[in-house]
Structure 1
Amino acid sequence: MNSELKILVCQDSLMFGGHERMFLSLVPVLLELDWLDSLVICVPSANFAFLQALDQAKLPRLRVRQLRYSKVRGEPYRAPLRWMYRREMDTVLSEEMPALVLLLQGRIENALVPMLAARKARIPIFSYLPMAHGTSELGYRNFTPAITRTLDWIRSYYYRLPDGYAVPSSAVERQLRSRGVTARIDVVPNVVPLIPASSSRADVRVKLGIALDERLALFIGRIDRHQKGLDLLIEVIARSVPVDQRWRFAFVGDGPDASWLDDALETAGLLPQCRRINWTDNPSDWYTASDAIVMPSRFEGVPLTMIEALLHDRPVLASEIDVFLDYLPREGLVRFDETLNIFDALNFICSASLKEKYAIATTKIRAECDLDLSRRLFAEAVNQVLKF
């Protein structure tokens, strides 16, 4: 019998984003648990970015196990029927015999097959979850009321399976409670280290090819048309008249809809006002060069880009969703629809009248950006599930 005490981490998405990066910053505290012998992380073999990040981390007593299968569309419906994936997870659990299965989930439909396998094997389940929105909140227009009700009913079952949760904000805790979750929920704030720009604002602008008298609105992050609301943003820019020639837009990032964004900017005739830049390992230069950050997301957890923006003392123009209501001034939240003139909104959030309110938001974020505290909270949450 295997007497080694392990945590088995399961991630079955092909994405590598802020949630995975935050998890990697928390991993060291798990490896310091006095009862833990080793940590095994299961990642799809096709998730090259996550596998590379794990390899670069070079953490002790951590082993990576690659999975053949990954999450697919319609996973809430399909998970109970994915027999080959389930067989793979049953094999992993029987070979590893973990004391705990930790699910690294984007939403509850991530890692459902590992969740079901762990529940059948009666292994405690812990979910690290950044979002728990209802289906109607996700903004999918092709979902009929019947589909929405069915998905919420199915998800309500999955939400009851974990023995404990760690979430990045009180907003997500409220989402889970509204889904009927009664298990313990611990709030573990997301943390971003403040990396200064490579030089002064003026020098950074020269380096990036931005005129000194230009006003720059920045979208930065994963290029995801639906979740990040990029389709809404492009429509708003295109119909906001009169055009304010002082403002320019930069889209910095990579993602599944990068080619769509290039085509959409060209089709809308926005190339004279907008730039598309691939992701950079030094985003601080872009924050420093910008005047405002734009976040038109339909749904979010606690986006690292919002934290980075506030740490760089930049105002954020964001959509009216719960997480932004918890962190940003109400005056900076808008609906990205036909009623919005984005140039007026950008000028307003950059005005002196809102400077103090954004300063308060920045103070709150800086108080939460304590990596040691987040690590301790995460370790405590894991221990509570196992009652260590």
Structure 2
Amino acid sequence: MTGPATLSTRDGAGARRVLFYDDVTVFGGHEKMALSLLEQLFRFTGYSAVFVFAKKNRRLAQELKLLQEKYPDRLSLVPTRYASGRMPTLEMFWQLPQLVALVRLFKSLAPAFAIIVQGNVELSIKGLVAARVAGIPAVSYLPYVGPFSDIPDLPLAGLRDLCNKLLYKLPQGHVVIADAHRKTLIEDQCLCSTRLFVLRNLVDGDQLTEYPKTDAREKLGLPPSGVIITVLGRLHFKGKGQDVAVRALSGLLGKDLRLLVVGEGPDREQLMQLAAPHVSDGSVVLIDWVENPSVVYSATDIILMPSNLEGVPLVLLEALLFGKMVLASDIPPFDEYLPSDRRFQAGDEESLRQCVLRALSDLQGGAYTPRLVTMDSDMNREEVLRLVHSMTVDGKGARDA
């Protein structure tokens, strides 16, 4: 096997194949970045791919079809009925027939190695176990590596953290999105540093277009005047904290200040009930994912991220590319991107409210200077090549290395 810097970059049927697996049913940031990883694999190597995914995830299916049109000879799609629930590890025990069928599917696809897309170590765990049983070297794509005990009110968090120590040992490698995450896996999970790959989240600025604010608001059915604060992400209170945002801003909302919540997820009905009084007077607006997020950013004055846990969220990077003011919980990685006066204590409604009031004062007084970021589309090239080389050492995969 040649070294990582000399991997073939040829296209077509002769290229080797990588299996991607994702059974989450709601499209989120880690799905979007997994698609970015897939495209980087195509750009930097000669490998083709087959993507096995939950057919209930309609947006992922749409995005994959668009990517397949771009790379028709290199990407195959396999929709399945398999899906992660709220406690995926426990669910495996009464879904053994699904697991057996998945093992057969993986063996029939015969990939060189597999990339299991996991928002956290529990999600898509069936794919990780199936790859292990099928004898297929696998790497886990992990945007979040923190303990579950850090998530407020999560059932059985301590027990799950204990069990998850075993799950971290299943794959032959892990892809993380920040150096701090790599350090966490080495120190907390005792994982081998040579099997950890840091592939940083990328945002393609060419796909983002800034619209006039009034035009963007008209597209979204929003009033042209007043300040709009936007919370954009999967509707999952324990992870993303939209409920805290609604309660914290309740006394501030009105015709001059509106809250826009964009996303889909398991807590949508609860959010609608919680925000019902404000939805009726138009001070809270709920919309599903939009095809063009540029419209949302263009219509927005402040991006609010009240998360309890995060990796390196795309919303943060996209908002900074747009030069938007971002307010976020005082958790990693926000402390690396935002000053202290733009952060608030996670889960604390009063801390969030005071942070918003400071931000509004700065906006009105012209005291805010946008922090712009830039992205190098090739910055992950060497690490992608190292990943492929590591997982295919001597043509046998990392398990035998």
Q: Give the distance between the partners of 2:359 and 2:51, measured in 1 at CA.
A: 43
1:100 pairs with 2:113: yes
Mean CA deviation greater in 313-322 or 340-349: 340-349
Contact 1:171 1:326 in 2 (8 A): no
More moved, 151-160 vs 247-256: 247-256
Could you tell me which amino acid in structure 1 is paired with residue 182 of structure 2? E
Note if contact 1:12-1:44 (Cα within 8 Å) is conserved in structure 2. Answer: yes
TM-score of the aligned structures, taking structure 1 as reference length: 0.85
Unpaired segments of 5 or more residues in structure 2? 1-13, 395-401
Deviations for 1:100-149, whole angstroms, at most 9, x for unmatched residues? 121111111122222123223432211111111201112125x3xxx333
Tell me if 1:168 matches 2:177: yes
Task: Give the C-alpha shift of residue 40 in structure 1.
Answer: 1.6
Q: CA deviation at 1:351?
A: 7.2
Matches within 5 A, 1:1-388: 5-31=16-42, 36=47, 38-58=48-68, 59=71, 60-79=73-92, 82-140=95-153, 143=155, 147-183=156-192, 184-194=195-205, 195-197=207-209, 199-205=211-217, 213-239=225-251, 246-267=256-277, 271-335=281-345, 336-340=347-351, 341-342=353-354, 343-347=356-360, 350=363, 355-356=368-369, 359=371, 362-363=372-373, 366=374, 369-387=375-393
Return closer, same or farther for 1:45/1:131 CA change in 2, 3 Å cut-off.
Answer: same
CA positional deviation for 1:352: 6.8
Instruction: Report sequence identity in percent.
Output: 28
Please give the alpha-carbon distance, in whole angstroms, between the structure 1 residues aligned to 2:231 and 2:86: 27
Distance in 2 (CA, whole Å) between partners of 1:334 and 1:374 is: 32
- Using the TM superposition, give the Cα deviation of residue 46 of structure 1 relative to its aligned residue in structure 2, in angstroms: 2.5
Residues 29, 376 of structure 1: 8 Å contact kept: no
Change (3 A) 1:207 1:159: closer
What is the CA–CA distance in structure 2 between the aligned matches of 1:173 and 1:353, rounded to whole Å?
39
How far 1:84 moved relative to its partner?
Answer: 0.7
After superposition, the Cα gap between the structure-2 partners of 1:212 and 1:117, relative to the gap in structure 1 and judged at 3 Å, is closer
Structure 1 stretches of at least 4 aligned residues deviating more than 4 Å after TM superposition = 32-35, 195-198, 205-213, 267-270, 351-354
Shift of 1:330: 2.1
Output the amino acid matched with 1:252: V
**Residue type at the aligned position of 1:149:** G
Which residue number in structure 1 is paired with residue 11 of structure 2? none
Aligned residues: 372
1:43–1:66: 8 Å Cα contact kept in structure 2? Answer: yes
- Shift in CA distance, 209/350, structure 1 to aligned 2, threshold 3 Å: same
Measure how far apart 1:220 and its partner are. 2.0
SS at match of 1:55: helix
**CA–CA distance in structure 1, aligned partners of residues 198 and 151 of structure 2:** 22
Structure 1 residues 34 and 197: alpha-carbon distance in aligned structure 2, compared to 1, 3 A threshold: closer
Q: Distance in 2 between matches of 1:249 and 1:321?
A: 22
- Structure 1 segments unaligned to the other structure (5+ residues): none
Give the distance between the partners of 2:16 and 2:225, measured in 1 at CA: 60
d(CA) in 2 for partners of 1:256, 1:276: 14
SS where residue 63 of structure 1 aligns? strand
